[in-house]
Every structure is written in structure tokens, then in C-alpha cells.
Homo-oligomer: A and B are copies of this chain.
Amino acid sequence: MSDDTDRNARHADKMKKVQAARQTMMATRTAEKGLLIVHTGPGKGKSTAAFGMAVRAMGHGMKVGIVQFVKGAMTTGERVIFDAFPDLVSFRPMGEGFTWDTQDRARDIATARTAWDEVCRLIDDPDIAVVIADELNIVLRYDYLPLDEVLAAVTARAPMKHIVVTGRNAPDALIEAADLVTEMTQVKHPFRGGIKAQAGIEF
């Protein structure tokens, strides 16, 4: 038997075992439920992955409601594509800009309340399969909304309702309540090299 044939045979044998182990593991996963998903951490991709999930769900004909708690110029691109599917996705930028732009705490709190009311409406709407509360964690971080109220609402969701919450500094209690939590860690960022925010990448 040549070296290569031997290597391929060992590979096939190993992969058979991996496949068997995976099948055993997958067989234990039979339950379905609406997930509370949190994307947090200082790295990029938290909102982008949430919007990618929106696209995935929309492709299955599932309706998605997106509320943005902090409006930036960062969603121009996605909006164009989402707007082509008005029956499948609603996209509401409720924030009035970053809080360092408004410089008005009372107004920021009122805006957060309006956005949260819309999230609650989406959570209660049986037609909506996936609710995305984009940058909700930032609002919680600033104490613009009571954490207890948010926890109560997401915990009381219908059994098959998926909720995705994004933003750095997710509160511990939200992580505790969640089913799926991913932390995006920044390894390297081009801003450090003097590169500006670019169309198709950051917005």
C-alpha cells in the first residue's frame, strides 16, 4: 500500500468515527424552542450577524421585526435589500443617533422607551417569528430602560418566538436568561491603520 493510499485509508477511518460521534450527539438534540440569542463583545459582527439571521429566516418565509435602538448611518446597505421584502421584514430605526450626538439624556430615555414599546409589540405579535433588538444592550448599559422589565418581557415570550439582542456589554442577567450567547472579540481593526468606514463594510 502506498503512503498516500495508507493516509487516505486512515483518514476515512477517522472520519467514520467522527461521523458516528456526531450522529449520536445530534440524536440527543430533538427539542425545538424559540431562542433568546445575544451577540455581545467589543468586536465587529454583532449587528451584521443578526441581520444575516434575519435574511436566513426571511428565506424560510418567517417574518422578522427589527428595532434599532441606536441609529447610526450604519444600515444603509441592508435597508435596500430588506425594503425589497416588505411582507417579510419591518425595519424601524427608533434611535435618534448616538448618545454623544444628542447630548440629551432625557430625550435618549424617551427614545429608548418608544423603541422598547415597539419591541414588546413585535414580541406579542404572533405573526412575527424573529424579533431583533439591535443595540438594546447599549441602552441597558446606560440605564435608559429598567433591566427587570426587559428580562420579564423576553422571558415571557411565546414558546417558538426567537429574540436576538445585540450590543456590547450585555448584562449578566440577560446572558443568564439567554439560550445562545456569542461574544465577538476584536483581534484586529483597520481603523487603527487609518482606514475610514467604507460603504459595504461598515454601512
Interface residues on A, range: 35 or more
The distance in angstroms between the C-alpha atoms of A15 and B37, with both chains bound, is 30
Which residues of chain B have C-beta atoms less than 8 A from A165's C-beta? none
Chosen A-B contacts, 21 in total, with CB atoms closer than 8 Å, are A7-B105, A12-B104, A22-B100, A29-B196, A31-B193, A31-B194, A35-B198, A43-B182, A43-B183, A44-B180, A45-B45, A50-B52, A51-B55, A52-B78, A56-B77, A58-B80, A84-B84, A162-B201, A179-B188, A182-B186, A183-B184
Which residues of chain B have C-beta atoms less than 8 A from A180's C-beta? 44, 188-190
Which residues of chain B have C-beta atoms less than 8 A from A153's C-beta? none
Which residues of chain B have C-beta atoms less than 8 A from A80's C-beta? 58-60
Chain copies in complex: 2
A187 touching B200, Cβ below 8 Å: no
Closest 8 A/B residue pairs (Cβ): A52-B52, A59-B77, A59-B80, A57-B200, A56-B77, A181-B187, A45-B49, A48-B52
Please tell me if A19 contacts chain B, counting CB pairs below 8 Å: yes
16 further A-B contacts with Cβ under 8 Å, apart from A32-B196, A60-B77, are: A8-B104, A8-B105, A11-B105, A15-B99, A18-B100, A31-B196, A35-B198, A45-B184, A48-B52, A56-B200, A59-B78, A62-B200, A162-B201, A175-B187, A181-B186, A181-B188
Which of the residues B49, B59, B183 comes within 8 Å of A185, measured between beta carbons? Answer: B183
The distance in angstroms between the C-alpha atoms of A179 and B65, with both chains bound, is 33
A32 touching B195, Cβ below 8 Å: yes
Which residues of chain B have C-beta atoms less than 8 A from A187's C-beta? 38, 40, 175, 181-183
Chain B residue with Cβ nearest A107: B8
